[in-house]
Structure 1
Amino acid sequence: MRIATLSIGDELILGQVTDTNAGTIARALLDQGLRLQRHLTVGDNELDIMDAINDLGGANDVVIVTGGLGPTLDDLTAHAAARATGRRLVLNEEARDHVRAMSGKLASLIVCPLNDKQALIPDKSTLIPNRIGTACGFHLICNGCFMFFLPGVPSEMIPMLHESVVPFLLERATKRPHISFMHFNLFGPCEAEVDDLLTGIARPDLGLYLGICVTFPWMRITLRAEAVSDAAADELLAPAVRTVRERLESYIFSEGAETMDEALAAMFRKSGLTLALAESCSGGMIAKRITDVAGSSAYFLESAVTYSNAAKERLLGVPVALLEEKGAVSSECAEAMARGVCRAAGSDLGLAVTGIAGPDGGSPEKPVGTVFIALATQDGCRSERFQFHGSRDEVRIITAWTALDWLRRYLSGAQ
């Protein structure tokens, strides 16, 4: 079964609104063993909509369309669908009653004759109920292609998708594969390095697929196995999962939907160790990440954002002579900050970052993006220099990620 999606709206084409519907539909289908083959986005132009409907309808078994079913002048989907499929646009009384009933219920709407436009659908179409908003969807068949037209508002589209469209497709998709997934979340390596390390794992000829998705500054590896049964898919997936774990062990911070912050929280709870932070260039980002996880007070004691030299001296005990000789952006200062916050908080671990986030403040010896990270433990203190690149925000973000990964590696025994 070939399935395509079509998103409609000038706001999407112009980049004013992010199209989340396409991804939502693709994931909902894949969860049921149904794969999306193609996606198009067009603006609020009737001819473009007609061309897209004809194009997708001629090459696919199913087309799911979102957007353009509202009451305004730029909502053209129903009219374009009627013209593209050679049908008349007719008033559906059930849809009209629904529009008027919902208009009376929703505080944001008043009963207005213009809303009745949403009750105009192509002849010989089946209504798709909308229990959230005013615009019903509709379903029609054209030249053997099943076409579904849904509102573009995600809160309306999603229930209609799960309650009407997906069940309809499952009744007809008799040969859909059983699918097993495993997601690995990584930090540290570049995409090319990971691709090289994973050479030979994917076997599309057997139904085993591998995907790499980079989302700054981390990446996700997805293994997908497709087979005739759940057991067969799991059996196909298992050795690949073991291989990925072996080859990428030092880079994997979590599996599945678990975030770096959640994984680190679990490690701290298990270790029984406590933490204090001293941040300069990251401005509190690391502390925020840690405290975003409920229950972090069990191991996170305090944080000091010491942006100025005076604050480093006053709050962390960094010697004035060290600051004058080595500078605030140095391994010596980072280590003094880590030891100082550890001592002040009485924590088991003290982590510190200091650097130049930019866009100004760099020098030939220490250009923008120079960052020092230090970790004080009961066994001593170590630091490392990093040279990050990107905008000010990107330098700060990757600094926070690297600091959290340092903690993860320490708690796992990897460093």
Structure 2
Amino acid sequence: MATSPAGAGRPKTRGIVLDHIRAARTISRIELAAVTGVTPATITQVVRELMAHGLVVEVGRGASTGGKPPTLLQLNPHARYAVGVLFERNSCVIVIVDLTGRQVARTSFPGTALLPPEQALSIVASRVEALIGAAGVDRGRVLGVGLATYGPQDRQTGVLLTHQPTAEWFEYPVGPRLSELLGLPVLLDNDAAAAAIGEHWLGAVEQDTFGCLYMASGIGGGVVVDGEVYRGVSSNGVEIGHITIDVNGGRCDCGNYGCLGNYADPSAVIKQALEDSSLGRRLGLDPADTDVMTAFGRVATAAGAGDPAARGLVEGSARHLGTAAVTMASLFDLDLIVLAGPSFAAAGSIYQSVIEEEVQRRTFARRAHPVRVVTSVSGSDAAAIGGAVLVLQSELAFLELDARA
């Protein structure tokens, strides 16, 4: 089975029209012709086809401009659904969204990445099936699954290219195997890129160009340019967790030296907390514990409650991430950076204030424009929602109408 819901070579006009209807929420045929550059006759034909398949519905009249009031169009949210999966080392989140991107169901459970791939993916597949059933969603209307996880990865073949967290995952075909288990197309993507495009597609970020810093158990980045996520040569771009912040730093697992993640990600913060024996005991941290997210949550909670030692560690992490934000903003000339992911959800206010202070003080173009730093509206679910949205976006771009409507 193909690992992407996109049908190669399919006409794009229907997808373009659907995407504009989605973005506008309600729009007339005349407005569609104006914003798409497609002739009114073609718009009429395409809309008629989409309505016949139940994807678009008429929802009343717009304001008259002198003649007959135009009929307004909307997506039919129940026409199709998509599943998004955040596959993290220590946690897994599954969501189902409708055709408009609205979340209709969610579940989460402890991560499975330390298990062998076959066992881990079997658990994920069973949880996806259970959520579809519990939500009462017609499985025949589910377009596919967006699997958002860490990299590096080969997005086209659905293969992971990392030895993390265990060597068994290296070159493992997670996309094709999950697709086989579910009988649904699976689209593999980077968790940070998924979070970035999800924020944009859902209307949480109104502008078309912005950056996203993503932090779960590791640190990643995504940049949206003119409404499209920046991919790079192999869709492994903007790996901000692996920029060098200390040229004399130790070697990272990626092969680079002095990487940001080694100083600022949750594992680094936990390691620093354990070096302070008093703080480690106070928070009940265990050096042998592999549950990074729970341990980091304890540090973040203590920081938010005013514990000076914990707050100092979180603020130190935030300062380093400020360097990453400055780098991202200067490379892409950004004026907005969104903080997304479960680790930012745990201590968002501290990270937001410190990172914004850094970018306002250090960004190259700060005299030309300010740089805002905001937290994600999707919180810890940003990547899962983005994974589902990427499936919808792919289907809207290369839509194959069939008997599912």
More relative contact order, 1 or 2 (CA 8 Å, 6+ apart): 2
The structure whose residues are more often strand, as a share, is: 1
TM-score bracket, normalised by the shorter chain, equals under 0.3
> TM-score, normalised on structure 1?
0.23
| Greater Rg by CA | 1
